Structure 1
Amino acid sequence: MTDATIAARILALRAELDLHSHRYYVLDEPSIPDAEYDRLFNELKALEAAHPELVTADSPTQRVGGAALSAFGEVRHEVPMLSLGNAFEEDDLLDFDRRVREGLDLPAGDLFGGGAEIEYCCEPKLDGLAVSLLYENGLLVRGATRGDGSTGEDISTNVRTIRNVPLKLHGEGWPSVLEVRGEVFMSKAGFDALNARQVESGGKTFANPRNAAAGSLRQLDPKITASRPLEFCCYGIGRVEGELPTTQVGILQQLRVWGLPISRELKLAKGADACLAYYRDIGERRASLAYEIDGVVFKVNDLAYQRELGFRAREPRWAIAHKFPASEELTELLDVEFQVGRTGAVTPVARLKPVKVAGVMVSNATLHNMDEVARLGLMVGDTVIIRRAGDVIPQVMQVVLERRPADARPVHIPEQCPVCGSAVERTQLVKRSKGKETFSEGSVYRCVGRLACGAQLKQAIIHYVSRRALDIEGLGDKIVEQLVDTGLVASPADLYTLSYEQVVVLEGFADLSTRNLLTAIAESKRPTLARFIYALGIPDVGEETAKLLARALGSLARIQAALPEVLTWLPDVGGEVAHEIHSFFEDSHNQTVIAQLLERGVQLQEEGELHAEFAACTTFPEFLDRLNIAGIAATGAKNLAEKGGSLEGVIALSQDWLELSVMKGLNEKAKQSLREFFVVAENVARARAIEQQLLAFGMHWASEKKQVAGLPLAGQTWVLTGTLEVMSRDVAKEKLEALGAKVAGSVSAKTTCVVAGPGAGSKLAKASELGVRVMDEAEFLTALSGFGA
């Protein structure tokens, strides 16, 4: 055979094998026997071995990669892989449908009709591992796990071994860049066969198909992955550069044309009732399906509607997973142990006689808190009903009292922490209202040992070094435990005193790993203020609140000093969160740790002035209202502000009974409360302290309302709507906020500008109606460039 003939034969064999693989693995319609497929495959393999220069990445022989990897690399998802909201009852799905129709401003039903009906794409929710496949010019170039939604692991070599994943898209017309998202799973038959082989070879068996699929896909040796019966089913797309159909079902059907497997149960349903009918039908047939599912996914079919509905923080508003009822089993409660968390919460955990629930062996279950133990009437030795809530988290649902043994023992919260021996105290809840504070017992018990408690210390440091906090690579949970157990680290600040000699002798460390860890710790010394605040682990302060504190107050010093009443002027910071923040920074131990962090080289980035939005943001009537004087609400505070003119004027008025008695706009009860409030020296001092801090921060009503230098959009309100194609809306929001603008979720007469991408709907219409300026993405990018952003 000539070289040209060999090359042509190789191309023909590849095309024929791809066709047969597609018919076998995707269409389930094999047209040749396995022996014939093997003959063709072996012929191709022999030709490529003789002519290695003709081997290409999309050849069927390349599904099993070469050498094992030492580790997986990271992949940043340009379009985040979001999770879905859950529906567990039919009413949850009906509520979802109602929210969708309201979000699209569609007609509601009444006595004379059912209103508008939405078309939904319906698919079973496979119980597997979410992955992303990236195709460029039709060729598979990368595979990645979902990870945390923003960053996943590069599993490109392993996904190439999955037989129904095309290495090259079929047909033509595909976008130049196409990111396909779906689930890697293992069928019930494949799982049983794998476990049978494991038993035969003396290996460890897997608990369920999902664990088997996840473990198989994350093997460092792709040959092991190739030996596992993995399958792929796509359910959507991510990044796309090119044209696709305008509906969810249309996209999936087009992907099938290009050789990608989709669910055979894919259907289109019109309205919530049709969705419920689909859910019931799949539920009835669940046991007979060839694979495990834990529910059904419903997605708004129209992509323009999807864009208009948008996203919440971590999930789309246009999709929901309707989960099947959790599986339940009976077992025995062997004991109740207590775990200590990052905030010191002492939580009861049920130790159970192992039982298989929905395919998973369960030996532990959450009990939440001691109130839950009391509600259940739980005693050690009881027979209990266990449920995997949402088919994931084992939970004790009920005690079977008629099976209680005579020697059953009550469950008591320990008086001393099981880790450090410090006292365990029950938390108190404080309800603050006008003129009074009401205390009640909380449901949580806490160890008072703080960072002297090994469990709290470990969890605090694990949080401090986590990806969304200081992001110190290489400091996993086990290493943190070693550092604490060996006494090398007693607070997050001690991480910055670690030496080469201290680390290199730890288990699992050598010269290179030690140097890498110390480099990662050193590189963490320049966090943004927002990341640092989040990393401190303040109770009830998540990422968004940390960002708000950093953006609004601008400096660690202001955040540390802020009084609870001042913090409540920030959006979405309520009274309880404000008191948690203030209490955290008032604690002397926390003050010491923060001081040590700064002394040991942590340099906060992006510190600055108070955000322009909060300059002179308070009014005198609001100030008086927030003093929580009994009987004085917004209207009374306004009248009091007009009469008193200033805080000192109001204090003087409160003690001038003659002048106060003739004042209009306050009833007698409110006047008496005012007098009693300012008779108390502590209340007077507190009010003056709040006013002084408002003045110091520039938030006081007498402060100058000004644009902070370097923030050209300070005082402006912008709205983002539709799909931004060059940058995500999150990035656009960050850039606008960095320029001083407030980014709002709705359009009003006060809106400065609306940035409208493709799919913009009601917000764009509202902007046109109000005469608000509108930019497309190109104009927006030009404007950002002009500001140097």
Structure 2
Amino acid sequence: MPSAQTAAERIAELRSEIDAHNYRYYVLDEPSVPDAEYDRLFKELRALEAEHPELVTPESPTQRVGGEALAAFGQVRHEVPMLSLGNAFEEQDLTDFDRRAREGLDLPAGDLFGDGAELEYSCEPKLDGLAVSLLYENGHLVRGATRGDGSTGEDISANVRTVRNIPLKLHGSGWPAVLEVRGEIYMPKAGFEALNARQLESGGKPFANPRNAAAGSLRQLDSKITASRPLELCAYGVGRSDGELADTHIGILQALKGWGLPISRELKLARGLAECREYFQAMGEKRDALPYEIDGVVFKVNSIAQQRELGFRAREPRWAIAHKFPAREEITELLGVEFQVGRTGAITPVARLKPVQVAGVTVSNATLHNMDEVARLGVMIGDTVIVRRAGDVIPQILGIIAERRPADARAVAVPESCPVCGSAVERTQLIKRSKGRETVSEGSIYRCVGRLACQAQLKQAIIHFVSRRAMDIDGLGDKIVEQLVDKELIRSPADLYCLTFEQVVALEGFAEVSSRNLLKSIEASRTPTLARFIYALGIPDVGEETAKLLARALGSLERVARALPDVLVYLPDVGLEVAHEIHSFFQDAHNQQVIEQLLKRGVQLQEEGDIHPEFAACATLAGLIDKLDIPFIARTGAQRLADRFGSLEAIIGADWLDLRQVERLNEKAARALRDYFDVPENAQRARDVEAQLRDFGMHWQSERKSVEGLPLAGQTWVLTGTLEAMSRDEAKVQLEALGAKVSGSVSARTSCVVAGPGAGSKLAKANELGLKVLDEPAFLEQLAKLQA
């Protein structure tokens, strides 16, 4: 170091030079110095920092070696959810995705004379790693998190700081004050092979594949272990951003590259579906030559404005899709079939295979789904089978090689008794309901009838009950639940609220602090929202969104538990089969007992109230007649009956002379109506439904009015474009709290459209229909008035 230069100046110079070399090596793929020169600079910097520890900063290249081990990961709530992508496995899936995107943007469709308007797509390989979120504030990396369930992830800040191609400080200038970068952390093939070689040398267990190795490395509580692993990042987008970014996806990625973040070197712009197909084929051909594993290609609509216009459905964007490569297949021997018992008692056959490598992963088990699938495949124990990883993830048996069947091959037989509890195994029945008739047939699922007396069902039911999106009891992992059930400390979810400190501390892996923390977590779970509680109960076919709908619409557990199937179908997206599942669950005596115990043991449901104004007086007499599915009585016929008689009792009691006076009601329909109501059970069913509609306030004679505090009850609002003061999800929550229904499409029934920057076809349609339109400032002003 020149004498005139201070240690601080030389350290700053070395850091700048090393950062520049890292950028050229990892981001530009243009290394400018040999490894030996890089190592010399790094060694000099480390020596200077050792002499002057007061000059060490978190952003120094030397600070990627990991710190003290953590006791546990903290949780990070994603301000912008990290959604998963829809998958395309066939070429038609990609074609359908492109069609839906163009239709959603109201682009001209093709005809005999042309292919219509084409969309621009960004194309990049789908890396097989772990999705992460990196938060930069004023250019400095302040937090790293896993994707988790999309809403909440784990804080892995200490670990991501050890990944060498992640800049601890952004390069250049112009980046937003707050920037959340999203990307995939993966392990290159060469690094994976070297890591496994070291594992074997040290007597450790090798990793199954690079993805597992990357995920396991990032979730180490000791960041020094992470630092020793050959991990890399590839940025694929942004989440939260407090500042202006480019108006295209590729433009944003190029900006990230300029700020020092590595992006895919295979990134390409495609114009139209044909170029997307060409890119997919090209990547498939070079897949094995790439230095990292990929399992497909991701296509994203390139225009950010068009992305916003297309929006999201359920938990995935409408503007992006992952086109997976065809599954890779191998052949092996079926050694046996075991039967596993799930949460609902379903007995599922699992194939035990002679281990075989499929797409780089050792496969020794494969799903057989159900006995119908076993019959379809014609598979027998001892067969040579074709195995594939569906979507490169789940191993499954594709077929058999019949000519290789041995003479001693054995048929796959369903056990007569449950392999876990010994209870009887019964085949499910499928009940198809239509036009007043029920058709019963055998289902493909076999179930253990032991219910919660079966430890397998009990364990799975409690694992679901305590999960993050249900009752959210932290510290109750699968292994702990298994211990509690095996030791017979809990026989139902309600028993969790009777656990004592002495019982918990005696469990394997528990000490005083962890025991008290678990009991605190159980105590904190006593006040779930109604929606969480319904979801936690594990009702068949009732997922998180359906649970939210039941809670929001009916307002109380008592109403949900009493609701008849014919009433539940008045709720959007609740079909008759799901309605019967919900009703059957709450009619079951054992389930009633568990719910009663939970409430007696201190579970207090939050956010209960009246039925939502949207569903007040939502039923009509014609609608009720139509929903009874009387043969030959369609919707128009039901409306004519309602217009003629005016009440359910009048229709039930109508004689032939009365029915003949109903306009355009033919003799066949009149006879069907009379035959239906001549059955006492049918007449009573209709009366029961009407009585409950009246009781719930859903009856056509119920009062339809805005409940106090819900000034927008009965109104339908549409959000389009970008909102700057809040996200569209936040705006939706506030509007729903005021009683409004928030729709994704504009129609003549729309009450108001809120249009932010980038609003497109929805705004144009609103103007065409002469609807009320508010910009964001006017919307915020109206919200303030309504909430005052």
Q: Normalising by the residue count of structure 2, what TM-score does the alignment of the two structures yield? A: 0.98
Residue of structure 2 in register with 1:690 after alignment: 689
Give yes or no for the alignment of 1:783 onto 2:782. Answer: yes
Give yes or no for the alignment of 1:290 onto 2:291. Answer: yes
Residue of structure 2 in register with 1:96 after alignment: 97
Q: How far does the alpha carbon of each residue in 1:592-623 deviate from its partner, in whole angstroms, 9 at most, with x for none?
A: 11111111111111111111111111111111
Residue of structure 2 in register with 1:745 after alignment: 744
Structure 1 residues 618 and 59: CA distance shift in structure 2, 3 A: same
Q: Letter of the aligned partner of 2:628 in structure 1?
A: L
Residue of structure 2 in register with 1:720 after alignment: 719
DSSP 3-state at the match of 1:628: coil
Q: How far does the alpha carbon of each residue in 1:420-476 deviate from its partner, in whole angstroms, 9 at most, with x for none?
A: 111111111111111311111111111111111111111111111111111111111
Tell me if the contact between 1:184 and 1:213 (Cα under 8 Å) persists in the aligned partners.
Answer: yes
* 2: CA distance, partners of 1:137 / 1:382: 62
CA apart distance, 1:564: 0.7
Any residues of structure 2 matched to 1:380-391 within 5 Å, and which?
A: 380-391=381-392
* 1: CA distance, partners of 2:777 / 2:415: 63
CA apart distance, 1:749: 2.4
CA apart distance, 1:81: 1.1
Any residues of structure 2 matched to 1:531-610 within 5 Å, and which?
A: 531-610=532-611
* 2: CA distance, partners of 1:662 / 1:18: 88
* 2: CA distance, partners of 1:422 / 1:127: 42
CA apart distance, 1:214: 1.4
CA apart distance, 1:101: 1.0
What is the total number of aligned residue pairs between the two structures?
787
Residue of structure 1 in register with 2:758 after alignment: 759
Any residues of structure 2 matched to 1:84-163 within 5 Å, and which?
A: 84-163=85-164
Residue of structure 2 in register with 1:425 after alignment: 426
Residue of structure 2 in register with 1:299 after alignment: 300
Q: Letter of the aligned partner of 1:783 in structure 2?
A: Q
Structure 1 residues 586 and 3: CA distance shift in structure 2, 3 A: farther
Any residues of structure 2 matched to 1:349-748 within 5 Å, and which?
A: 349-653=350-654, 656-661=655-660, 663-748=662-747
Q: Percent identity?
A: 75
CA apart distance, 1:394: 0.2
Residue of structure 1 in register with 2:314 after alignment: 313
Residue of structure 1 in register with 2:12 after alignment: 11
* 1: CA distance, partners of 2:220 / 2:612: 49
Q: Letter of the aligned partner of 1:751 in structure 2?
A: T
* 2: CA distance, partners of 1:363 / 1:169: 45
* 2: CA distance, partners of 1:282 / 1:740: 50
* 1: CA distance, partners of 2:154 / 2:192: 24
Structure 1 residues 684 and 114: CA distance shift in structure 2, 3 A: closer
Tell me if the contact between 2:640 and 2:662 (Cα under 8 Å) persists in the aligned partners.
Answer: no
* 2: CA distance, partners of 1:663 / 1:209: 71
Structure 1 residues 699 and 29: CA distance shift in structure 2, 3 A: same
Q: Letter of the aligned partner of 2:510 in structure 1?
A: F
* 1: CA distance, partners of 2:246 / 2:629: 57
* 2: CA distance, partners of 1:737 / 1:662: 45
* 2: CA distance, partners of 1:264 / 1:195: 27
Structure 1 residues 771 and 2: CA distance shift in structure 2, 3 A: farther
CA apart distance, 1:30: 2.1
Residue of structure 1 in register with 2:72 after alignment: 71
* 1: CA distance, partners of 2:773 / 2:320: 29
Tell me if the contact between 1:710 and 1:739 (Cα under 8 Å) persists in the aligned partners.
Answer: yes
Tell me if the contact between 2:659 and 2:665 (Cα under 8 Å) persists in the aligned partners.
Answer: no
Residue of structure 2 in register with 1:178 after alignment: 179
Q: Letter of the aligned partner of 1:606 in structure 2?
A: E
Q: Letter of the aligned partner of 2:262 in structure 1?
A: P
Stretch moving more, 708-717 or 488-497: 708-717
Stretch moving more, 766-775 or 60-69: 766-775
* 2: CA distance, partners of 1:54 / 1:394: 53
DSSP 3-state at the match of 1:471: coil
CA apart distance, 1:3: 10
DSSP 3-state at the match of 1:346: strand
Q: Letter of the aligned partner of 1:100 in structure 2?
A: A
* 1: CA distance, partners of 2:741 / 2:245: 34
CA apart distance, 1:305: 0.9
DSSP 3-state at the match of 2:133: strand
DSSP 3-state at the match of 1:573: coil
* 1: CA distance, partners of 2:28 / 2:202: 33
Residue of structure 2 in register with 1:49 after alignment: 50
DSSP 3-state at the match of 2:494: helix
CA apart distance, 1:770: 2.3
Tell me if the contact between 1:609 and 1:708 (Cα under 8 Å) persists in the aligned partners.
Answer: no
* 1: CA distance, partners of 2:646 / 2:122: 62
CA apart distance, 1:661: 4.5
Q: Letter of the aligned partner of 2:754 in structure 1?
A: V
Stretch moving more, 325-334 or 69-78: 69-78
Residue of structure 1 in register with 2:255 after alignment: 254
* 2: CA distance, partners of 1:786 / 1:696: 34
Structure 1 residues 649 and 137: CA distance shift in structure 2, 3 A: same
Tell me if the contact between 1:380 and 1:409 (Cα under 8 Å) persists in the aligned partners.
Answer: yes
CA apart distance, 1:758: 2.5
Residue of structure 2 in register with 1:230 after alignment: 231
* 1: CA distance, partners of 2:259 / 2:353: 49
CA apart distance, 1:779: 3.5
* 1: CA distance, partners of 2:256 / 2:663: 73
DSSP 3-state at the match of 2:165: coil
* 2: CA distance, partners of 1:779 / 1:360: 57
Q: Letter of the aligned partner of 1:508 in structure 2?
A: G
Stretch moving more, 199-208 or 77-86: 199-208
* 2: CA distance, partners of 1:748 / 1:115: 25
Q: How far does the alpha carbon of each residue in 1:618-657 deviate from its partner, in whole angstroms, 9 at most, with x for none?
A: 111111222222221222222222332222212221xx33
DSSP 3-state at the match of 1:336: strand
Gaps of 5+ in 2: none
CA apart distance, 1:2: 8.2
Residue of structure 2 in register with 1:23 after alignment: 24
CA apart distance, 1:35: 2.4
* 1: CA distance, partners of 2:777 / 2:361: 52
Q: Letter of the aligned partner of 1:299 in structure 2?
A: K
CA apart distance, 1:663: 4.6
CA apart distance, 1:735: 2.1
Tell me if the contact between 2:186 and 2:232 (Cα under 8 Å) persists in the aligned partners.
Answer: yes
What is the RMSD computed on CA atoms of the aligned residues?
1.6
* 2: CA distance, partners of 1:114 / 1:650: 54
* 2: CA distance, partners of 1:89 / 1:239: 33
Residue of structure 1 in register with 2:768 after alignment: 769
* 2: CA distance, partners of 1:664 / 1:711: 41
Q: Letter of the aligned partner of 2:144 in structure 1?
A: G
Stretch moving more, 389-398 or 519-528: 519-528
Q: Letter of the aligned partner of 2:50 in structure 1?
A: A
Tell me if the contact between 1:21 and 1:164 (Cα under 8 Å) persists in the aligned partners.
Answer: yes
* 1: CA distance, partners of 2:707 / 2:458: 40
CA apart distance, 1:787: 3.6
* 2: CA distance, partners of 1:550 / 1:591: 18
* 1: CA distance, partners of 2:41 / 2:179: 30
Give yes or no for the alignment of 1:271 onto 2:272. Answer: yes
* 1: CA distance, partners of 2:698 / 2:33: 78
Give yes or no for the alignment of 1:59 onto 2:60. Answer: yes
Q: Letter of the aligned partner of 1:701 in structure 2?
A: W
Gaps of 5+ in 1: none
CA apart distance, 1:293: 0.8
Q: Letter of the aligned partner of 1:211 in structure 2?
A: N
* 2: CA distance, partners of 1:394 / 1:745: 37
Q: Letter of the aligned partner of 1:541 in structure 2?
A: V
Residue of structure 2 in register with 1:244 after alignment: 245
* 2: CA distance, partners of 1:752 / 1:635: 27
DSSP 3-state at the match of 1:152: strand
